[in-house]
Structure 1
Amino acid sequence: MAETGKQSSYKKLFSNTLVFAIGSFSSKVLVLLLVPIYTNYLTTAELGVTDVLTQIANWIIPLVTMTITEAIIRFGLDKAYDKVKVFTLGNLICFFGLAVFGILLPIVSLTGIADKYIGGYSLILYVYVFTSSMKSLYSTFVRAMEQVKLFAFNGILTTFFTLFWTALFYMVLPEGFLGHGTGIEKYLLATILSDLISVVFLTFKSKLWRYINFKDIDRELLQVMLQYSVPLIPAQLLWLITNSSDSFMTTHYLGSDYNGVLSAAYKIPNLVSTVYLMFGQAWNMSAITEDDSDDRDSFYENVFDFNQSLLYILVAGCLLIVQPVTNFWIGADFRDCVKYSPIIIYATIYSCFTTFMGSIYLASKQTKRSLFTSLVSGVINVGLNVILIPRIGLYGPPISTVAAYMTVFIIRAIDSRKLVPFRIDMKKMIVNNIVILVMMFICLFETDLMHHLPLYAIVTLLFFAVFILNRKAVESIFYKVLPARIASHFVSLSTAKLCAVIGGLAVFVLIDLLTRGIIVYALLLAGFVFAIYKNKNRLMYIFMVLMPLSLVFRHGMVWAAVAFLILAVAVIIKNRRPADVFIGIAALDILLGAAAGLWFGVLAAAVQTLVCGFIFRRQIWDKLIEWAYKKR
């Protein structure tokens, strides 16, 4: 029975991660795809101001909410506490904090203390904080009720409206419909309206008014929740200082234009954080529910081992693609950010490690321990920024961030394991860090690897080395969360076969370079025709991917997209399957983005994805569950 319990814990973690992945993909990755709109419709100074305003809001929200959302998830998941009382107190605390903020903000505006940062945006800043706080409270309570599917769908809904309002404000309505020079207001208003729709949707969908009862205030529970959440206020603020002091100090020392470039430099590293968030939200729930289990220590050990392997692969993958993606995705005025992105990408390893260790404090109700470690982070980050930014410019903030996160991880790794004594594989950590650091320094040394292919080949080989080093940990989790029949498909490829595949790809690239693509194009086309003739679907898809890849770097994205669309149409005519139709639609979106502008393709793909996801949501979910848990 104990083994069954273990398997159940891993499967629940996997299932929740899958649900959060669906929600987070839409709410985070698709929002990141709005970057081309922001970097093409806003100036560097405007993007820098919006970054500062959102950072200020992120600082204010923990104060006005007293970080009560952390108590909501902790006590809401605990079956010993009444959910009605927990949610009622959460609303009471939030409304009290927002009322106080509403009184103080006009005073601050009148005195002019924060004019350099807030300027004339105090009213819209208040509305932004209000809607963000309420959305956070309501979506967290839905998660505490373990309605993870609703939580994920709410993320999709919020994304759709963020895309809708952003596209409407910047690309459809006249530029001056809110007045001239209102690009910053449009940026904030799109988020405000999306958050407001999210709150209304969750309220009516879950009938949340049934969980509010102001007539019976449990003062004892109020005290317990505040004792848990209040120590997290300075802890969160200190983390925000670590995360956002870069923006403020860059603006102070170098100006808003430089801060706009720094903000763009964080966009690709945020992909790692976004993917980790899918796991992190599910992990927080598992850490709380498994806190009293008998196999807790081994559970933490296995999950952390998988966690670090996943992060190494993600970070190495981001370092591999950071330069081509920046050239394709980021507006021309912001492309200098590629000089700083590799350091920030590396910092995300320790940012996510630190978050993982922090979940131990939350699950064990030892939130005061978070305060000290967060204080260390803030001091290191601010101190190094003061020293480095005036001397080395925009390299200062990324280096400060790496130093802060790495130091705090070391402290938390020692301290948190006094509460949960699980083992960390230090040899694995050291080897992976060395390989990833080599990748990082190559990207820093040469910021145009696409014109220095031998160096790019080395970076590619190092990525595959990281993948091979960490594949066993990934496989071990697959066996725990999936039926053996399905898990075996993930691990059937031996290391020798994987190396052979890598070698084959290297030979392919070499032939492509030597023949300027002529022989390679002929071979790929012949292979595709053969695959269609023999009805070998997997082979078709392989050639569908290889042909555009061989075209994109030599002839550009438009030719690659045309080839992809032609091959996709051939497959649709041959198979006539819904899955192939979706691939054809994706090929068309890529062509639209390449020919008519990136934002046009992104918008078309986002709308199609959200509409299809909504229409087929039940079928998609049923298929995922069937795929994951079907047993013979």
Structure 2
Amino acid sequence: MSNAIGDKLLKNTLIYSIGSFGSKILSFLLLPLFSLYLTTVEMGQYDLILTFVLLVTPLITLQLSDAIYRWLIATDKASSAEQVITTALSLFLVATIITFIVVGIVVYFEPQPYVLETMLFLFFSALFFILQQVLRGLGLTQKFALIGILYSLLLLLFSLVFLWVCNNKLQAVLLAMIVANIVVNIIILWRWKIYHYLSGKYIDKKLIIPMLSYSLPLVPNAVSWWLMTMANKYIIFQQLNTAANGIYAVSSRLPSILMIVFSLFLLAWQDVILKDDKADYREVTTNTFSQLSKFMFSIGLIFISISEPLIHYLFSSQFYEAWQYMPILVLATIFTSFCAFLGTAYQQKKNTVKILTTTIIGAIVNIMMSYFLIEYIGLFAAALGTLFSFIVVFIIRQQDVKSFYPVVLTVKSFWLPFILSLVYCYLVSLNQKYIDWSLFVIALIISLLLNQQLLGKILQKLKGRIL
């Protein structure tokens, strides 16, 4: 890896980490708070609402957030930025109106609870996500990180307030999310003056086709991931019950910490890799994935080893069963990060159709495994289906992009940590405390050994900034 690119990648990762990690951890800590007030059934309903929002968000945004960032990061002209932002937000508003009309018609014939709260949360959260990508594309990385922290603090504050004053606790959580999103959108648009980039005269019809050609394949891609997630939840609901959905939701939230950590790196990696789509990044890609693989697997070993105590101490006893599925979902999350890393290859070449096709294959694998196995192994079917689906997607993408985006699976950085993770999953399933804590200590040692070079660079970088 060239020193210039390596230094930029590390610097950007640290910037995103300082700002974003705190906000994401605050958001993560809200889940135990919600579990204290919500029953398993309400937690299942809450998770279904979030899943619905995940489905409709790509439809309402047309995945234009990706296009905005991709276009803005490649331009230095203010006039071009105005055209990109205004054109994209205009398309977003049109899609929003159509979506609300469709949902209104459906609800008229088939009433559902919490429809108004869900739709308001959908709109303001979708707008917030788009505006965040505007900040990134304009190079305002510090403000991007800061607004994430502000959102989490506001969400925590409003959650405490509404949970205190509202009898309906699920409605209280939804109201807190709505108000928090409204406030941060106001800050971005008016306090940070992003509204200066918005005007009807900036709408550029010539940008519509290229941006939609880039973003639209990402819509069914995102929906496919939703279908995979929703299919799991629907299968669990039909074959088991709503409470099982709540338990599975908890088991999948803790491994999401790994995805939070990876997402900080991915933001910085995109800043590097998408800036110039004609540059040769083969050597950089190979070295970066090697380090990424060692880091993700080593952190994964730590999480796997303490699955049981994490669930036991962070959540109420009604969710205790969730620890059994967590090790498998940790592995699934690791391969999710690998798939996302390879996805940047398609983004760089603006070939987002390949992202879609590989995702659909993974979704089919997941749904089939969950459907045919849940009768025999319960929630393990959903967890294993998720793991194997991401492994399949990873293998396909790794082979497809190797000519220009080589990812080498070495024994030290990939195969050995992967096999060790499988061994950890088995040993943890024995549920012996002395084994778990022994594995935890070993995992810490392995993590230090595998990442000593990376840790050295980080410490050196931090020392240089402080001094």
Structures share a fold, TM > 0.5? yes
Are residue 336 (structure 1) and residue 321 (structure 2) matched?
yes
Task: Give the superposition deviation at 1:8.
Answer: 2.7
1:121 equivalent in structure 2:
114
Q: Is the 8 A contact 1:242 1:404 kept in 2?
A: no
1:414 equivalent in structure 2:
399
Q: Is the 8 A contact 2:15 2:141 kept in 1?
A: yes
| C-alpha distance in 2 between matches for 1:152 and 1:86 | 22
Are residue 238 (structure 1) and residue 224 (structure 2) matched?
yes
Q: Map of 1:236-275 to 2, 5 A cutoff? A: 236-275=222-261
Which amino acid in the other structure matches residue 57 of structure 2?
A: I
1:516 equivalent in structure 2:
none
The 3 A distance-change label for structure 1 pair 423 and 629 is: farther
Deviations 1:373-425 (A, max 9, x none): 01101111111111122222111110000010000000011112233235442
| C-alpha distance in 1 between matches for 2:138 and 2:366 | 37
The 3 A distance-change label for structure 1 pair 297 and 53 is: same
SS at match of 2:378: helix
Question: Of 101, 118, 126, which aligns to 1:103?
Answer: 101
Which amino acid in the other structure matches residue 176 of structure 2?
A: A
Q: Is the 8 A contact 2:298 2:443 kept in 1?
A: yes
Q: Is the 8 A contact 2:273 2:348 kept in 1?
A: yes
1:166 equivalent in structure 2:
159
SS at match of 2:279: coil
Task: Give the superposition deviation at 1:71.
Answer: 0.2
2:311 equivalent in structure 1:
326
2:149 equivalent in structure 1:
156
Are residue 229 (structure 1) and residue 215 (structure 2) matched?
yes
SS at match of 1:33: helix
1:548 equivalent in structure 2:
none
Are residue 385 (structure 1) and residue 381 (structure 2) matched?
no
Q: Is the 8 A contact 2:286 2:407 kept in 1?
A: yes
Are residue 79 (structure 1) and residue 75 (structure 2) matched?
yes
User: Sequence identity of aligned pairs in percent?
Assistant: 24
Are residue 395 (structure 1) and residue 380 (structure 2) matched?
yes
SS at match of 1:34: helix
Q: Map of 1:453-472 to 2, 5 A cutoff? A: 453=434, 455-460=435-440, 462-464=442-444, 466-467=446-447, 470-471=450-451
Q: Is the 8 A contact 1:131 1:196 kept in 2?
A: yes
| C-alpha distance in 2 between matches for 1:132 and 1:628 | 37
Question: Of 63, 68, 81, which aligns to 2:64?
Answer: 68
User: Unpaired runs of 5+ in structure 2?
Assistant: none
User: Unpaired runs of 5+ in structure 1?
Assistant: 177-181, 488-623
Which amino acid in the other structure matches residue 338 of structure 1?
A: W
| C-alpha distance in 2 between matches for 1:291 and 1:312 | 30
Task: Give the superposition deviation at 1:427.
Answer: 5.2
Are residue 284 (structure 1) and residue 270 (structure 2) matched?
yes
Are residue 131 (structure 1) and residue 124 (structure 2) matched?
yes
| C-alpha distance in 2 between matches for 1:375 and 1:418 | 23
Which amino acid in the other structure matches residue 396 of structure 1?
A: A
Q: Is the 8 A contact 2:398 2:407 kept in 1?
A: no
Are residue 298 (structure 1) and residue 283 (structure 2) matched?
yes
The 3 A distance-change label for structure 1 pair 133 and 468 is: closer
Q: Is the 8 A contact 1:309 1:474 kept in 2?
A: no
2:171 equivalent in structure 1:
185
| C-alpha distance in 1 between matches for 2:245 and 2:421 | 26
1:208 equivalent in structure 2:
194
The 3 A distance-change label for structure 1 pair 125 and 459 is: same
Q: Is the 8 A contact 1:44 1:260 kept in 2?
A: yes
Question: Of 426, 431, 434, which aligns to 1:441?
Answer: 426
The 3 A distance-change label for structure 1 pair 291 and 303 is: farther
Are residue 89 (structure 1) and residue 87 (structure 2) matched?
yes
| C-alpha distance in 2 between matches for 1:216 and 1:152 | 28
Which amino acid in the other structure matches residue 96 of structure 1?
A: V
Q: Map of 1:26-65 to 2, 5 A cutoff? A: 26-65=22-61
SS at match of 2:201: coil
Mean Cα deviation higher: 223-232 or 455-464: 455-464
| C-alpha distance in 2 between matches for 1:351 and 1:33 | 22
Task: Give the superposition deviation at 1:247.
Answer: 2.2
Q: Is the 8 A contact 2:262 2:337 kept in 1?
A: yes
| C-alpha distance in 1 between matches for 2:239 and 2:180 | 34
Which amino acid in the other structure matches residue 436 of structure 2?
A: Y
Deviations 1:472-510 (A, max 9, x none): 5535xx54x77xxx37xxxxxxxxxxxxxxxxxxxxxxx
Task: Give the superposition deviation at 1:249.
Answer: 2.3
| C-alpha distance in 1 between matches for 2:134 and 2:303 | 33
**Count of aligned residue pairs for this structure pair:** 465
Deviations 1:132-169 (A, max 9, x none): 11001111100101100001110110011010011112
The 3 A distance-change label for structure 1 pair 457 and 45 is: closer
Question: Of 359, 370, 376, which aligns to 2:361?
Answer: 376
The 3 A distance-change label for structure 1 pair 429 and 104 is: same
1:491 equivalent in structure 2:
none
Which amino acid in the other structure matches residue 467 of structure 1?
A: S
Task: Give the superposition deviation at 1:49.
Answer: 0.5
Q: Compute the TM-score of the two structures, normalised by the length of structure 1.
A: 0.71
Deviations 1:443-498 (A, max 9, x none): 1222xx33xx1x235423541463255235535xx54x77xxx37xxxxxxxxxxx
Larger Rg: 1
| C-alpha distance in 1 between matches for 2:161 and 2:323 | 30
Q: Is the 8 A contact 2:154 2:180 kept in 1?
A: yes
| C-alpha distance in 2 between matches for 1:259 and 1:284 | 34
Q: Is the 8 A contact 1:309 1:473 kept in 2?
A: no
Q: Compute the TM-score of the two structures, normalised by the length of structure 2.
A: 0.95
Are residue 354 (structure 1) and residue 334 (structure 2) matched?
no
Q: Which runs of 4+ in 1 moved over 6 A?
A: none
Higher normalized contact order (CA 8 Å, seq sep 6+, divided by chain length): 2
Task: Give the superposition deviation at 1:350.
Answer: 0.4
Q: CA RMSD in A?
A: 2.0
Q: Is the 8 A contact 1:88 1:212 kept in 2?
A: yes
Task: Give the superposition deviation at 1:59.
Answer: 0.4
Task: Give the superposition deviation at 1:203.
Answer: 1.0
SS at match of 2:253: coil
Question: Of 397, 404, 420, which aligns to 2:389?
Answer: 404
| C-alpha distance in 2 between matches for 1:315 and 1:87 | 38
Deviations 1:423-452 (A, max 9, x none): 442553111111111111111222xx33xx
Q: Is the 8 A contact 1:242 1:378 kept in 2?
A: yes
Are residue 141 (structure 1) and residue 134 (structure 2) matched?
yes
Task: Give the superposition deviation at 1:35.
Answer: 2.1
Are residue 474 (structure 1) and residue 454 (structure 2) matched?
yes
| C-alpha distance in 2 between matches for 1:108 and 1:166 | 30
| C-alpha distance in 1 between matches for 2:415 and 2:24 | 31
Q: Is the 8 A contact 1:312 1:466 kept in 2?
A: no
Deviations 1:288-318 (A, max 9, x none): 0254335x11111121111111101110111
